[in-house]
Structure 1
Amino acid sequence: MSEKEMMYDSILARSFSKQEQKKLRYVAIFCCFLIALSFCTVFKPYLGPLPVLNLRLSIDVSDLKMLIVKDTSTSHMDSTNSQRIEVSDAIPKKIDELVCNITERSDLCEINHDIRIDGRSATIYFASTHEHEANSSWNIRPYARKYDRVAMSRAKEWSVKSVQQLQLPHCTQNHSIPAVVFSSGGYSGNHFHDFSDILIPLYITSRQFNGQVQFIVTDKHSWWINKFQNVIRNLSNYDIIDIDKETDIHCFTRGIVGLKRHDRELRIDPSTSPYYSIKDFREFIRSSYSLKKATAIKLKDGDQNKIKPGLLIISRKRTRTFTNTGKIAEMGRKLGFQVVVTEAESNLSRFAETVNSCDVFLGVHGAGLTNMIFLPERAVFIQVVPFGGFEWLARTDYEEPSKQMNMRYLEYKIKIEESSLLQQYPIDHQVIKDPSSIGKQGWKVFRSVYMERQNVQLDLNRFRSTLLKALELLHQ
């Protein structure tokens, strides 16, 4: 023990009893604990990253503050000239703000402030009130499949940029409504991606405006706009602006860049703002295409001789086709169905009516099954799963979405004897005996073998029980 320590002990011994010294030590420990707690409270915002995946830029007449919270997932959005601040400071009351939500599926920037859109430079400007916050920018590709590099490479990159008021480009066209900027590039043209990547996210993002919104489309394909004109016209009361061809500076009171997408394919999370559901979307689709049948037929004992439920068989021309479609249809008729065999056509309005008129929907796994969206409530959806390890795709792409859409789901997994692959490869080939080894070689190899080279010839005796199950479900 040092001389100083001995001196302090001596002073304590003379001034306080042993009991009083013990109490004093407890008080000292308690005071140290309070001091430490105070330091943690004050400096907590600087001790680690905040568990929030968004970016906020708040604009006020008296103050401008910015919050960047980095997403750990790969993102197509980059930011520059930013500072990190406490969340509570980023959301003062009664201000305009920019919120950029960075998620695994898509990036979206909502600007609750005057914006100016320059199609020539692919830039969206808004004014900053502080010089040191000017010239900050964020890059975004407004297509809702950001984890897919191929899809994103087909969507144009845009900049969202804050500048000083005097640096804003001059407006040549003024609009009094909000704008939504999105890309119709990516995988557009594939029916599954048309809905999962564009139409459902567009509905989630823009339905809140009740038609009072201007769609600004980049990577515009006229054929795509024409195909889905019923949906687009029901979401917006205004003609689309093909921004890539515009030389004007378009000015809006507010805007959204990108589309909001929920985690899973062909689905909407009703617990997430703006609190729509897939049921809401399907009702919206029925309204857009004037579809009359809301619910599938409910059969009663003895009805089958009088009322025939509709069975729609989706045929395909190139790959994963039924090679015995005629025999499948004949068996369906003998079991009491009114059978329709058709391939998805370019006239979507007419095809939507055909799908909506049926009670049972049958097809091999593929984009054409997305047309189940047009089916009435409680219809029976039969997915034929090809050979080769399609279980995960079948489940996530169609089984789970169909159940959320209030359909009765049935699945028929073919055996190798029902696949055309048996005529292309010997029985001991890896393609036949070990599909997982092919899958491990990557998506392109899997697709080229099991999706592009395979057709299906159903075993009618085996498949018959699936159609009988469909009839049973229509009695429930």
Structure 2
Amino acid sequence: MASGLKILMSTQEISEPPQSYSYVESVTPPITQNLTNSRSQVYEINGEVRVHGNSSTIFIPTTQQLNTTTSFWNLKPYARNFEKSIMKKIKNINITYQNPNTTPPCTRLFTAPAVIFSTGGYLGNPFHDFTDVLIPLYLTSRQFNTTVIFLVVDMNPWWISKYKPILHMLSKYEIIDMASQNEVLCFPRIIAGLKSHKVLNIDKSISPNYSVTHFTKFLKTTYSLERGFVGGCKNKSRRLRNEYDVAELAQSVGFDVSVREMGGDVSSVARFGNGFDVMVAVHGAGMTNMVFLLENAIVVQIVPFGVEFNAKDCFENSSRDMNLRYLGYKVEVRESSLVEKYGVGSEVFDLQSLYKKEWAVYRSVYLDEQDVSVDLFRFNSTLLEAMELVCNS
């Protein structure tokens, strides 16, 4: 068996100078596009746009006669629009057309456009960092080639620091904390909210100039990752209870194995993860580290009982679109820790009622309570398949 084959078992993280400004009345209001979908609320406003930061209000001056149904909107700039419980915690942004005589005057003028987004919500969990903000932010702002200003609500400085290299590659300006701004900032264009298509992914049919493989290549450039593509025989959660037995099994197959909790230093995680041809992880946030893998690498997702739909939607589909090769290992009842708590005959193992449960109940049982101990004989076949894929690259 080839030596040196490496496998990772992932266990699981601006402004322009102030200028004087005088208002020139518009004959027609700026163009405002509502790009809202099931995942995110997005308004794109072109023309003179004024932002009063600490009141979280966007003013659009116009001399046209307006009615209340067409002159006011509000949004929460976080790409998880379908989950109302978390969206309640996101700062609300108001957008309003207003007569120029009553619109607050600009105190700072910017020539670059702006993008408004939140660093609240579930951020701090790597999966949500990428699927709720970083991929949507890339999709929304990459078109400006770093000449764009980020306005942030629900500001979390530690999160900004954690992902500073990515943010710096998307914007050459300092990030503005909206809550700290008592001035009126003026922009020629604003996108309020982040465009988001699907989980950990980009829909090329909606945005043909961008894809999730563009995003992963962008990450490799951002973190100066040298290896780009798997070639030839060369090679780290819901908790995997027997991870060290699995590691020994992988070594016996011929892999060099590293078992590692990836931690919060993203630059270190990126460089470390890019050195592996195979990643094994139980369905969960640790799977997100696949964004740093080599193109054509193998992702092995251990899928806990009852989590097949989530596993496919969250990671299987997106891994394929990242030009990674995917292998899934479905956990049987006897391999799940739920057996110890509920017993083999429990209704939690009734597949017909499984997906009829309310989300909170489903999540608490199948996602929050469940660990796995894989059957080493069964899992050996998956490792051998991964080995074959790498060696035949």
Match of 1:279 among 200, 213, 221: 213
**2:363 is the counterpart of 1:447:** yes
Alignment partners' CA distance in 2, 1:330 and 1:287: 34
| Distance apart, 1:297 and its partner CA | 3.0
3-state DSSP class of the match of 2:276? coil
The aligned residue for residue 462 of structure 1 is 378
Shift of residue 332 of structure 1?
A: 1.1
Gaps of 5+ in 1: 1-59, 65-95, 300-308
Report matched runs for 1:168-183 at 5 Å.
Answer: 168-183=103-118
> What is the DSSP-based 3-state SS (H/G/I as helix, E as strand, rest coil) of the residue aligned with 1:265?
coil
The answer on whether the counterparts of 1:105 and 1:261 sit within 8 Å (CA) in structure 2 is: yes
Aligned residues: 368
Decide which structure has the larger Cα Rg and report it: 1
CA separation in 2, counterparts of 1:454 and 1:132? 55
**TM-score, length basis structure 1:** 0.74
Matches within 5 A, 1:254-403: 254-262=189-197, 264-273=198-207, 275-299=209-233, 309-310=234-235, 313=236, 316=237, 320-387=238-305, 389-403=306-320
Cα shift at 1:352? 1.2
The Cα of 1:272 is off from its aligned counterpart by: 2.3
Q: Separation in 2 of the partners of 1:417 and 1:196?
A: 32
Counterpart code for 1:471: M
CA contact under 8 A between 1:204 and 1:274: conserved in structure 2? no
CA distance in 2, matches of 1:246, 1:277: 35
Superimposed CA distance per residue, residues 10-61 of structure 1 (whole angstroms, 9 cap, x where no aligned partner): xxxxxxxxxxxxxxxxxxxxxxxxxxxxxxxxxxxxxxxxxxxxxxxxxx95
Q: 2: CA distance between counterparts of 1:289 and 1:120? A: 34
Gaps of 5+ in 2: 1-24
2:80 to 141, 145, 152: 145
The verdict on how the C-alpha distance between 1:245 and 1:435 changes in structure 2, with shifts beyond 3 A counting, is: farther
Post-superposition offset of 1:424: 1.7
Q: C-alpha deviations, 1:237-278, integer Å up to 9, x for none?
A: 01110101221211112211111111x211112232462111
Distance in 2, Cα, partners of 1:62 & 1:330: 73
Q: Would you say 1:108 and 2:25 are equivalent positions?
A: no
Structure 2 match to 1:430: 347
Distance 1:353 1:323 in 2: 27
Partner of 2:326: 409
Q: Is the 8 A contact 1:133 1:162 kept in 2?
A: no
Residue deviations 1:444-467 (CA, integer Å, cap 9, x gap): 112211222222111111110100
Which aligned pairs between 1:193-232 and structure 2 lie closer than 5 A? 193-232=128-167
Measured in 1, the distance between the counterparts of 2:357 and 2:213 equals 38
Answer whether contact 1:153 1:186 (CA < 8 A) is retained.
no
Aligned partners of 1:103 and 1:326: how far apart in 2? 44
Aligned to 2:180, which of 222, 225, 245? Answer: 245
Shift of 1:164: 1.3
Q: What is the DSSP-based 3-state SS (H/G/I as helix, E as strand, rest coil) of the residue aligned with 1:205?
A: helix
- Give the whole-Å Cα distance in 2 for the aligned partners of 1:472 and 1:225: 41
Larger RCO (alpha carbons 8 Å, 6+ apart): 2
Q: Is the 8 A contact 2:307 2:367 kept in 1?
A: no
| AA matched with 2:175 | I
Whole-Å separation in 2 of the counterparts to 1:63 and 1:431:
60
Q: Does the 8 A contact of 1:438 with 1:445 survive in 2? A: no
Is 1:120 aligned with 2:54?
A: yes
Residues of 2 paired with 1:411 and 1:441: CA distance?
Answer: 24
- Asked if the contact 2:27–2:64 (Cα under 8 Å) also holds between the matched residues in 1, the reply is no
Q: 1:152 to 1:362 in 2, by over 3 A?
A: same
| Mapped partners of 2:208, 2:189: distance in 1 | 17
- What is the DSSP-based 3-state SS (H/G/I as helix, E as strand, rest coil) of the residue aligned with 2:132? helix
RMSD: 1.9
Q: Alpha carbons of 1:406 and 1:422: their partners in 2 closer, same or farther (altered >3 Å)?
A: same
Amino acid at match of 1:348: V
TM value normalised by structure 2:
0.89
Distance in 2 (CA, whole Å) between partners of 1:406 and 1:235 is: 23
Q: Report the counterpart of residue 7 of structure 2 in structure 1.
A: none
The equivalences for 1:9-28 within 5 A come to: none
After TM superposition, the structure 1 stretch with the greater mean CA deviation from structure 2, 163-172 or 204-213, is 163-172
Shift of 1:359: 0.2
Q: Percent identity?
A: 42
The CA distance in 2 between the partners of 1:245 and 1:137, in whole Å, is 24
* Alpha carbons of structure 1 residues 279 and 438: separation in structure 2 relative to 1, 3 Å: closer
Q: Distance in 2 between matches of 1:143 and 1:439?
A: 27
CA distance in 1, matches of 2:65, 2:101: 11
After superposition, the C-alpha distances for 1:91-138 in whole angstroms (9 at most, x for unaligned) are xxxxx4121223222221111111111122210011112244699211
